Structure 1
Amino acid sequence: MGAEFSSAVKDAQEVPPFRREGPRYDMSTFVGRMLHFYSVNDPRTLLFTNEDAKSAERLLKLANIGEAPEGTTDAELWHARRVLESALHPDTGEPIFPLFRFSAFVPVNMVIVTATVTPAVISSFPATAFIHFLNQTYNAAINYANRNASNPVPRARLVEGYAGAVITSLSIGMLSTALTKKVAARAGGAGGPAAAIIRSTLPFLAVAGAGASNVLLMRRNELTTGVDVFDDEGKDLGKSVEAGKMGLMKCAAARVIWNVPVMMFPPIIMSRLERLRLVSSSPRLRMACETAVVTSCLLAAVSPALAFFPQRDSLAVDSLEPKFSGLSDSAGKPVTRVWYNKGL
């Protein structure tokens, strides 16, 4: 299994012929989607300068008219696209503030998540409230900066989604703090295994619950009016509420999936590392270890979680509303599956 996965990754990393539209990787496979999101979320793209972007833009313009410099490779053209797409909004073409790019998600959350799972924060009501407020504020900012500008969400809905996520996160976060204090008090201040379990599970519930509620509140129109579905030929068949429900369920599930290792693993790993005298006796080393653990979990979890479900997904017609039954394509063949954009 491991050898097959490694072989699939190696095959997917081969440089395909350059094209101006569409992703570089095969989005019909998990490996292709995973590599795509690793490329999008790569923090190293934050190091690209304005001059890099201008050079990339010049190269792509020349390539579009067939005048790219002699010897220009497909790899160089794909790199030029990556430089531009990492910094510009796909709909407006305007630069995105660096902290609100997808590539900044890991370095920013490296700080936020480390603070969220730190015992000193979990045991303090003010610190818990602040860190969960900060987390959801950042999530709202990055969602807005990378919004679908061709299908704008009303400002009132943005505010509702933000407020719902903050309330959910704060409520569960405060519960975490209260339970941690209660368990620690019963154990004479140490807390023991029960407190360790609380420290690893309730912050996860707070963050994952807030992320899921944010998606449901921000995109609740998909639950009432549905999303566009298409046949194999790309013909628009209308809107389906059932497809909208399935898409939102998978988007919410992805947030839960990546938060399992990101929020639950660091406290468990750190409880083991703290048994080492070198780590427990040095607050700076402990913080460095915790930051490294959180960063590793973020890098390992977010992109595969986003890749878990295809963005362009399909459903059997018999799982949709009755109005989609009995449809035929241009050749007169019955439509048995429909396609829709799940979103992220």
Structure 2
Amino acid sequence: MGPPVINLDKPRYDQGTYMGRAKHFLLLTNPLNCLATDAELDEAKKIVSDFKKTKRMPPGYDEEKLWRTKYLYDSAFHPDTGEKMMAIGRMSAQAPMNTLITGGMITFYKSTAATIFWQWINQTFNAVVNYTNRSGDAPMPKSQLIASYCAACGGALSTALFLNSKVKNMPPIFSRLVPFAAVCGANFINIPMMRSSELINGTPIFTADGQRVGNSKVAARTGISLVIVSRVIMALPGMTLTPILTNMAIRRGLFCHYPMMAIPFQLVLVGICVTFATPLCCALFSQTAAISAAKVDPELKDIVKAKFYKHKEFYYNKGL
């Protein structure tokens, strides 16, 4: 028996189980991947591409190093287009960026100006992430991109300001939880808007062996819905547990002599929550989702019957 064949076209761990997906996304969203230079990323792309063609282990590499290189490559290059993604839009940037932004939102939440600023920063960042991690390979027109961004930011700001006006006379803990409620509401606007081209044109679906069937709007709607659910749950620990623990600490006088220490306290809590919540929530659903042949769009049914009648399921990248 020779060594097992390494298949770099699939994740290293079984994506049919939650633990397999969790291991996969812990490596994919590793914040240290953000530190890789363009030269290192280009080298990783070359190594992965050459291995897929030749099936030969590169000089100086073993299986572990090859998989590390593959996950570095996956963390920076879009799975559908193959293009290098914007640095702050990569999932590996989620932990450091969300630590700063979430910390700002739950620390400076009392004034209207601060609420507007931090919600705008958050939705701008989310828009970049949602666009960067969209499904499919079709470009999005600039006019549509700008309209989607304005709608997403407007929805988030409106939600935050409305909720702030309703909790003014409530206990402080309710005010501290407004950013989370606003983020939840904004996710239902931002993600569909920034991926509206998929909803309009559909996302590519493929057979198990990689043959492209066509673009499915049903798959796009399902994939985007799953991403919204995972993003809301992803925000839950850092934006609820942190304010609750901070509020408890303040009530017990922990920061009475050094009130500014509440800021690093919150940042540390948010950082811990986000670092683990990002991969564990990405793992809730497989990135390569399946759609039954019976549920494909009406306009694809004739193609399926004519060319792909043997296939019971098709697959697509739902995005992250």
1:80 to 64, 69, 74: 69
Structure 1: gaps of 5 or more residues = 1-15, 184-190
Counterparts in 2 of 1:86-125, with a 5 A limit?
86-88=75-77, 91=81, 93-94=83-84, 96=85, 98-118=87-107, 121-125=108-112
Structure 1 residue 89: deviation in Å? 5.4
2:13/2:21 contact within 8 Å kept: yes
Q: Deviation per CA, 1:108-147: give whole Å up to 9, x if none.
A: 11111011112xx222001100111111112223344555
In structure 2, distance between residues paired with 1:147 and 1:336: 25
Residues 1:68 and 2:58 are matched in the alignment: yes
Residues 1:199 and 2:188 are matched in the alignment: no
1:26 to 7, 10, 14: 14
In structure 1, distance between residues paired with 2:219 and 2:69: 36
In structure 1, distance between residues paired with 2:121 and 2:68: 34
Larger CA Rg, structure 1 vs 2: 1
In structure 2, distance between residues paired with 1:84 and 1:233: 22
3-state secondary structure, aligned to 2:59: coil
The count of aligned residue pairs is 313
Q: Deviation per CA, 1:186-214: give whole Å up to 9, x if none.
A: xxxxx53xx413421x3222112222212
3-state secondary structure, aligned to 1:68: coil
1:123/1:180 contact within 8 Å kept: no
Equivalent residue, structure 2, for 1:9: none
Counterparts in 2 of 1:218-297, with a 5 A limit?
218-230=194-206, 236-297=212-273
Instruction: Please say which of residues 141-150 and 281-290 is displaced more in the overlay.
Output: 141-150
3-state secondary structure, aligned to 2:71: helix
Residues 1:133 and 2:123 are matched in the alignment: no
Query: TM-score, normalized by length of structure 2?
Result: 0.81
Equivalent residue, structure 1, for 2:25: 37
Structure 1 residue 317: deviation in Å? 4.6
Structure 2: gaps of 5 or more residues = none
In structure 2, distance between residues paired with 1:326 and 1:60: 33
Query: TM-score, normalized by length of structure 1?
Result: 0.76
Structure 1 residue 322: deviation in Å? 5.9
Structure 1 residue 161: deviation in Å? 1.7
- Inter-CA distance 327–87: structure 2 relative to 1 (3 Å threshold): closer
Structure 1 residue 284: deviation in Å? 3.4
Quote the RMSD (CA, aligned, Å).
3.4
Residues 1:46 and 2:34 are matched in the alignment: yes
Q: Percent identity?
A: 29
What amino acid is the match of 2:138? Answer: N
What amino acid is the match of 1:166? Answer: C
